[in-house]
């Protein structure tokens, strides 16, 4: 038996809270770059106090033309465990900019060398299911088969299922087939990390996520899926010839099926997410004038512990020492 060890996710949630508090000031103002930049600055500054020797594997890359937190950046004090980091200061920058639900600040962390590096991949085809269905789905199987098997594993009929799908032109045929099979659909413009989390969270009404979304987001979501015992199955799915050429030149196998254990090869994973714009999954930042409240999810893979953290932040005390100007 082991004595309880330090739960790094409790350090990470302070970082996601900082990003959420800083970026939520830009809710609905139509400037996604400013909102993302505020979150990045707050997150980087907060990481300076976390005792880890971290390397960003999944960061804000070329696709987002982001201001910082780039792939390969070193984070933390350098004094603690060597870890791989997946980070998205604002997952759903358009959601934040236009005041839509489910923008979140997210971080995943795993031991060094255990996180899949997607290289120049921007997009992957994904299937995400909760733990009850993790052994019955197949990315290569017809959509109808996966719906039937998932419903059976969950003790439901197919017409009971709710499937998260990004509302993109590339999913027109997928949406038609899901509807014809009888399942219900939640269409979202953005935010497939949140979608993957909903699919594996027992308290969510979403039962499954299907479709092509961001590759970095898939690896980041895999940290939470691993902790919650669910399954993600994915295959790199380049949308442009430039991306396909870069992947081939880097030696990536476009036919390989990636599962949760391929994307994150250790159970000793940590994850934290804080709501920014609010929604059915996580509440957003609520400003009171004297402070703000935040809603977060904190996961530790080794123990399977799930925490819901509701925090209240008081400006009169916090701003006496904080280098981040939240108010």
Q: Which helix (H) or strand (E) holds 47?
A: helix 32-47
| Strands 81-91, 305-314: pairing kind | unpaired
User: Is residue 179 predicted with pLDDT exceeding 90?
Assistant: yes
Q: What whole-number percentage of the chain has pLDDT above 70?
A: 96
Q: Is the pLDDT of residue 91 over 50?
A: yes
Each residue's pLDDT tens digit, 19-44: 999 999 999 999 999 999 999 999 99
Which DSSP helix (H) or strand (E) runs through 212?
strand 208-214
Binding site residue list for Mn(2+)? 36, 60, 88, 91, 217
Q: With a cut of 90, say whether residue 83 has pLDDT above it.
A: yes
In the predicted model, is pLDDT for residue 65 greater than 60? no
Return d(Cα 294, Cα 297) in angstroms, integer: 10
Residue range(s) of every CATH 3.30.540.10 domain in the chain:
8-114+268-319
8-114+268-319 sits in which CATH class? alpha beta
CA 296 centroid distance within chain? 13
The answer on pLDDT for 190 being more than 60 is yes
> Is it the case that residue 67 has pLDDT exceeding 90?
no
The band of 68, judged by pLDDT with boundaries at 50, 70 and 90, is: low
Binding-site entries for substrate:
91-93, 123, 168-170, 190-192, 214
Question: How many residues are given for the chain?
Answer: 327
**Per-residue pLDDT reduced to its tens digit, 206-247:** 999 999 999 999 999 999 999 999 999 999 999 999 999 999
Q: For 272-311, write each residue's pLDDT tens digit.
A: 999 999 888 899 999 998 999 999 999 999 999 999 999 9
Contact (CB, 8 A) for 63 and 122:
yes
Place of tokens 């733990």: 131
Gap between the Cα atoms of 222 and 66, Å rounded: 22
CATH topology for the 123-263 domain: D-Maltodextrin-Binding Protein; domain 2 (3.40.190)
Name the pLDDT band for 63 (thresholds 50, 70, 90).
very low
Supply the pLDDT for residue 61. 57
CA 74, CA 89: separation in Å to the nearest integer?
A: 16
pLDDT tens digit sequence for 200-216 = 998 899 999 999 999 99
Rounded CA-CA distance 122/108 in Å is 18
Strands 184-188 and 231-236 come out as: unpaired
Q: Report the pLDDT averaged over residues 154-173.
A: 97
Q: How far apart are CA 261 and CA 269, in angstroms?
A: 12
Q: What is the mean pLDDT of the chain?
A: 93
Considering the chain, tell me which residue range(s) the CATH 3.40.190.90 domain(s) occupy: 123-263
Burial label for 311, CB within 10 Å (0-12, 13-18, 19+), is middle
Feature table: binding site: 36, 60, 88, 91-93, 123, 168-170, 190-192, 214, 217
């Amino acid at each position: 038996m082991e004595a309880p060890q330090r739960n790094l996710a409790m350090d990470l949630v302070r970082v996601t809270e900082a990003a959420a508090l800083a970026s939520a000031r830009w809710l609905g103002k139509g400037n996604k770059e400013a909102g993302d930049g505020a979150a990045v600055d707050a997150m980087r500054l907060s990481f300076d106090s976390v005792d880890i020797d971290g390397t960003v594997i999944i960061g804000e890359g070329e696709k987002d033309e982001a201001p910082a937190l780039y792939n390969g950046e070193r984070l933390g004090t350098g004094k603690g465990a060597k870890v791989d980091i997946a980070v998205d200061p604002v997952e759903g920058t358009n959601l934040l900019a236009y005041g839509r639900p489910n923008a979140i600040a997210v971080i995943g962390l795993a031991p060094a060398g255990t996180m899949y590096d997607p290289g120049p991949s921007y997009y992957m085809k994904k299937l995400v299911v909760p733990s009850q269905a993790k052994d019955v789905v197949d990315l290569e199987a017809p959509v109808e088969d996966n719906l039937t098997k998932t419903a059976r594993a969950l003790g439901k009929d197919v017409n009971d299922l709710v499937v998260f799908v990004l509302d993109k032109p590339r999913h027109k045929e997928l949406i038609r087939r899901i509807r014809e099979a009888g399942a219900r659909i939640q269409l979202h413009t953005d935010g497939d990390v949140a979608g993957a989390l909903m699919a594996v969270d027992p308290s969510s009404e979403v039962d499954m996520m299907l479709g092509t979304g961001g590759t970095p987001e898939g690896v980041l979501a895999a940290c939470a899926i691993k902790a919650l015992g669910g399954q993600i199955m994915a295959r790199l799915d380049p949308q442009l010839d430039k991306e396909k050429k870069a992947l081939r030149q880097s030696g990536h196998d476009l036919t390989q099926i990636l599962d949760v254990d391929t994307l994150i090869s250790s159970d000793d994973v940590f994850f934290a997410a804080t709501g920014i714009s609010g929604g059915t999954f996580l509440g957003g930042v609520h400003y009171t004038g004297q402070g703000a409240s935040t809603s977060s999810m904190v996961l530790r893979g080794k123990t399977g512990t799930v925490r819901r953290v509701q925090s209240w932040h008081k400006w009169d005390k916090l701003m006496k020492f904080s280098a981040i100007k939240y108010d």
